[in-house]
Homo-oligomer: A and B are copies of this chain.
Amino acid sequence: MSEEKLPTRAENFAEWYNQLVLRSEMADYAPVRGCMVVRPYGWALWENMTAALDKEFKATGHVNAAFPMLIPMSFMEKEKEHVAGFAPELAVVTHGGGEKLEEPYVVRPTSETIIGHMYAKWIKSWRDLPVLINQWGSVLRWEMRTKLFLRTAEFYWQEGHTAHASAEEAQEEMYRILDIYSNFAINEAALPVIKGYKSDTERFAGAVITTSIEGMMQDKKALQSATSHYFGQNFAKAFEIQYLDKNNTLQFCETSSWGLSTRMVGAIIMTHGDDAGLVLPPRIAPIQVVIVPIFKNDEEKNKVMEVANRIFAELKAAGIRLKMDDREGVTPGFKYNYWELRGVPIRVEVGPKDVEKDSVALARRDVPGRDGKSFVPQAGLVRAISGLLVEIQDSLLKRATAHRDANIHDPKSYDEMKSILESGWALSWWCESKTCEAKVKEDTKATTRVIPLDQPGGEGKCIVCGDKAVKKVYFAKAY
């Protein structure tokens, strides 16, 4: 409950972020290398996110299940690219029950291998397909440089793993999920993400196609917020996931996988937060409204609390997630700062004058100061607040979209691009060669983020080498 000010975003964006995560009690550092504790306030946000996503997964025919957190080391080695990609990040269990294990296990960094093993056992015929299973849980990757929510050794996510009869169906699945992710990011989290393909360099280890949604943070760095992969028959061949088709011929399945993690919590913080703290999108905010009663003596308290309690009951009955801050011994100003730090979308102030006038004061978290304040009648308050929550949600998305669009540029030359990439994104023609990609990275530290699904069509000249290019790509520095 420190009243010390946060560093500003302009002063030090990285430090603003870290301090904000800690002080708003979203998460804390754990006494385990590179790991975090997601505190109740952060977890409540994640629960709202998972509930919205889970509903969409189920509406599109997916079911949940649970696979072991340990994977036999030998499984990891069955798909060559996969093991090469993940080997450096593995945590290894060598002892169990007081004895050295004959074969070590790894703590899952992702579950393609063990789920592939089970699919090989379960899938026999075309009648068993598609298999559309999702798992909510955590995975562990021994990351070198960690940052709360954005990159931690253990992180929380869902991982979907599907098996299909044809390449077409598996790719449709990949795109279907990419749309679910994108719609979720835009409509629930107010993150104006861009959908696209990853370059070969940035692909998931073992994938044929990796798609992702990419967002721009306030510091103009890019953050990959979720990925959806098509594996072709890579994992099906490595794990012998086969089925008898309608002609009784044995075929390999085509598989996909896709994941969205607590990383997106970081995206929400870095997209919407301001110098006073979090700014949470109303649709997923753990607390949408906080009521702060204001009084100086018992007589005022009685009058004010009667109104505050009635309002609380009305809003609660309307399904609004809310909190009454009736703590004594702290000032209203302290409470304002406290809930601003925590990003609650609307503050309702009820004081003696409000009681007299049958009104209350509403303060919007997304518009600080007087501009965000309004005085509304107590009658019809549920409707006014419900409407304002929608307005705030829209406003956050518009603001983030405007910021994104103002910082995406179309450089005319490679030199111009280099200057743009110091603080912004470039959308440029690219010949798709690794050489040009590597040169950009060396010169600017920026990488290819996504080759957007929406392409202008036609062709142009690669911004780096000048050769023919048929795709535009986003270059940006990234988390």
Contact = CB atoms under 8 A, between A and B. Distances in A.
B154 A31 contact: no
Interface in A91-133: 91-98, 105, 107, 114, 117-118, 121-122, 133
Given A70-B35, A96-B142, A64 B47 contact: yes
A66 B114 contact: no
A65 interface: yes
B91 A91 contact: no
A63 interface: yes
Interface residues of A, number: 53
Interface string A152-166: 001010000000000
A126 to B, nearest CB: 12
Interface string A16-54: 000000000000101111011111101110010000000
B69 A140 contact: yes
A70 B91 contact: yes
B68 A30 contact: yes
Nearest to A99: B142
Contact of A121 (B28, B70, B95): B28
A92 B96 contact: yes
A375 interface: no
A77 interface: no
A383 to B, nearest CB: 27
A429 to B, nearest CB: 38
Interface string A400-420: 000000000000000000000
A298 B290 CA distance: 61
A87 interface: yes
A90 interface: yes
A10 interface: no
Contact of A90 (B33, B97, B114): B97
Contact of A66 (B33, B38, B121): B38
B87 A32 contact: no
Given A88-B97, A88-B98, A97-B142, A65 B39 contact: yes
A334 interface: no
B64 A107 contact: no
A137 B66 CA distance: 11
A95 to B, nearest CB: 4
Contacts of A70: 32, 35, 91, 107, 140, 154
Contacts of A137: 137-138
B88 A65 contact: no
A52 to B, nearest CB: 15
Contacts of A64: 40, 43-44, 47
A17 B118 CA distance: 21
Contacts of A92: 93-96
Interface string A70-83: 11100100000000
A96 B117 CA distance: 24
A275 interface: no
A30 B133 CA distance: 16
A160 B97 CA distance: 25
A59 interface: no
Contact of A72 (B32, B47, B68): B32
A317 interface: no
Given A93-B92, A95-B92, A142-B96, A30 B67 contact: yes
Given A43-B63, A92-B94, A97-B142, 16 more contacts: A30-B114, A32-B68, A32-B71, A33-B96, A36-B68, A37-B66, A37-B68, A37-B118, A38-B66, A44-B64, A66-B156, A70-B91, A70-B140, A89-B97, A90-B96, A137-B137
Give the 8 A-B residue pairs with the shortest CB-CB distance, closest first.
A97-B142, A40-B63, A92-B95, A38-B66, A35-B68, A32-B68, A96-B142, A91-B96
